[in-house]
Amino acid sequence: MPRRCKYCGKPAIIHLRYANLSLCEEHFKQYYENRIRKILEKHKVRGDILVAVSGGKDSMSLLYALKRLSLMMDINPYAFHINLGIGEYSEMSESIVRSFSRDIRITLILYNIKEELGFTIPEIVMSTKRPPCAVCGIIKRWIINKVAYESGFEYVATGHNIDDASTYFLKALMTQDIYSILRGQHEFLQPKMEVRLVGRIRPQFYLSERENMLYAQLNNIPVVERPCPYSASAPIHRYKAAWDTLLDINPISQINLTRTLLRLGRMINIKEPELRACKICGYPTESRDSICAFCRLLRKTTTNR
Ligand code: SF4
Ligand code: ZN
Ligand code: ZN
């Protein structure tokens, strides 16, 4: 027998196994936006929010949901996109983010790393000989924090989801990375403006890629179809694929693993690392020599030239 929506009895378009919940189109959209709203309310995030948008389904859905929620909540989302200079992939991403932000009337802040920093991701990957996603992650985190801080934002929202958080933990468990397990992945990180660190909110933390994709499809949200050419080589994607089997056995296993390890982190309560100002760029770092990961990377580039 076809499943029916729990709230109105219409034919369901999705069955969320982790919640044993069937929903029609309208109630799925409501459920999705409510989950996002609750995280913002729980952490009292209000006012201007800079939303980091890559052009993928997660961040584009987040931007759209925040725009809709801004009609009923005291939030004001701005889109932020970094053109990473990864050939056609970056050109397509920028163009989709540009047109979508214009269509839904959201101010877009664009950052082109070739113009601002003088190199593209492929160029810096070549000269540092480090894994592309590790390099790209360091650069993106630094840029997002710097731009948000300099533009006066207290919070940045990113499209991290439960697939990302649970895969981070799975990888940390598989590689005995105890420090990463205890530090965790969080739905919210407080701003520390005194050390130039902007707060982080991940409103889709307990939503899955599948839910983000469905929300994008139902709202005709355009997304970059082509993956980043570096994504296939990232080990994290292979760990992600392992979840298909585990979720088949236990549909709530991703959420349970994430919650368990976050709880464990709170029980052990490791001391928060002290943040110092990087002596090169002035942005915060945990490093004892007061040189942040971004500036260390740039230094490596110049020595390798
Ligand atoms: Fe950057 Fe890797 Fe993502 Fe490509 S897949 S955008 S290189 S983090
Ligand atoms: Zn319904
Ligand atoms: Zn620095």
121 CA: nearest ligand 1 atom? 7
Confidence of residue 245 (pLDDT cuts 50, 70, 90): very high
Q: Which numbered ligand comes closest to the C-alpha of 24?
A: 2
Cα of 294 to ligand 3 centre, how many Å?
6
Q: Which of 37-46, 77-86, 260-269 has the lowest mean pLDDT?
A: 260-269
**Ligand 3 is an ion; residues with CB less than 5 A from it:** 278, 280-281, 292, 295
- Ligand 1: residue of 231, 236, 237, 238 to mutate (most ligand atoms within 8 A of CB) is 231
Distance between CA 94 and CA 139 in Å, rounded?
17
**What pLDDT score does 303 carry?**
61
Q: Please tell me the residue having the least CA distance from ligand 1 atom 7.
A: 133
Q: Is residue 305 part of a domain?
A: no
Confidence of residue 8 (pLDDT cuts 50, 70, 90): very high
Give the model confidence (pLDDT) of 192-228 as tens digits. 999 999 999 999 999 999 999 999 999 999 999 999 9
Under 8 Å between Cβ of 220 and 132: no
Distance between CA 260 and CA 243 in Å, rounded?
16
Average pLDDT on 228-238 reads: 86
Distance between CA 36 and CA 43 in Å, rounded?
11
Q: Which numbered ligand comes closest to the C-alpha of 25?
A: 2
**What pLDDT score does 305 carry?**
54
Distance between CA 198 and CA 59 in Å, rounded?
18
Quick one: tokens of 227? 């993956």
Of the candidates 245, 218, 178, 232, the residue with the CA atom closest to the CA atom of residue 57: 218
Under 8 Å between Cβ of 35 and 206: yes
Q: Is residue 261 part of a domain?
A: yes
Cα of 213 to ligand 3 centre, how many Å?
36
- Ligand 1: residue of 57, 136, 142 to mutate (most ligand atoms within 8 A of CB) is 136
20 pLDDT exceeds 80? yes
233 pLDDT exceeds 90? no
Distance between CA 255 and CA 205 in Å, rounded?
10
Average pLDDT on 259-268 reads: 93
CB atoms within 10 A of CB 8: 11
Cα of 21 to ligand 2 centre, how many Å?
11
Quick one: tokens of 66? 């925040």
Average pLDDT on 243-272 reads: 93
Average pLDDT on 43-71 reads: 98
For tokens 């163009």, name the residue: 95
90 pLDDT exceeds 80? yes
Q: Which domain holds residue 130?
A: 33-223+233-272
Q: pTM for the whole thing?
A: 0.96
Distance between CA 121 and CA 89 in Å, rounded?
12
Q: Is residue 218 part of a domain?
A: yes
Alpha helices in the chain (DSSP H): 25-42, 57-69, 87-103, 113-117, 121-128, 132-150, 162-174, 178-183, 209-218, 235-249, 253-268, 293-304
2 pLDDT exceeds 80? yes
Distances (CA, A) of 207 to 3, 166, 304: 21, 11, 42
**What pLDDT score does 246 carry?**
94
Cα of 276 to ligand 3 centre, how many Å?
10
**Sequential DSSP letters for 201-262:** E-TTTTS-HHHHHHHHHHTT-----SPPTTGGG-HHHHHHHHHHHHHHH-TTHHHHHHHHHH
- Ligand 1: residue of 82, 93, 121 to mutate (most ligand atoms within 8 A of CB) is 121
The mean predicted confidence, pLDDT, of the chain is: 95
Q: Please tell me the residue having the least CA distance from ligand 1 atom 8.
A: 133
Q: Is residue 91 part of a domain?
A: yes
Confidence of residue 304 (pLDDT cuts 50, 70, 90): low
CA 129 to chain centre: 25
- Ligand 1: residue of 125, 126, 226, 230 to mutate (most ligand atoms within 8 A of CB) is 230
Number of domains the chain is built from: 1
Give the model confidence (pLDDT) of 106-165 as tens digits. 999 999 999 999 999 999 999 998 999 999 999 999 999 999 999 999 999 999 999 999
**What pLDDT score does 114 carry?**
97
Protein residues with CB under 6 Å of any ligand 1 atom: 84, 121, 132-133, 136-137, 228, 230-231, 234
Q: Is residue 116 part of a domain?
A: yes
Q: Is residue 119 part of a domain?
A: yes
**What pLDDT score does 82 carry?**
98
Q: Is residue 22 part of a domain?
A: no
- CATH number of the domain enclosing 212: 3.40.50.620
Of the candidates 264, 286, 274, the residue with the CA atom closest to the CA atom of residue 184: 264
1 pLDDT exceeds 80? no
Distance between CA 201 and CA 294 in Å, rounded?
22
Average pLDDT on 10-22 reads: 97
5 pLDDT exceeds 80? yes
In the chain, the percentage of residues whose pLDDT exceeds 90 is 88
Q: Which numbered ligand comes closest to the C-alpha of 299?
A: 3
What residue type is assigned to position 119 of the chain? Answer: F
**What pLDDT score does 270 carry?**
81
Distance between CA 23 and CA 20 in Å, rounded?
10
**What pLDDT score does 234 carry?**
83
In the chain, the percentage of residues whose pLDDT exceeds 70 is 99
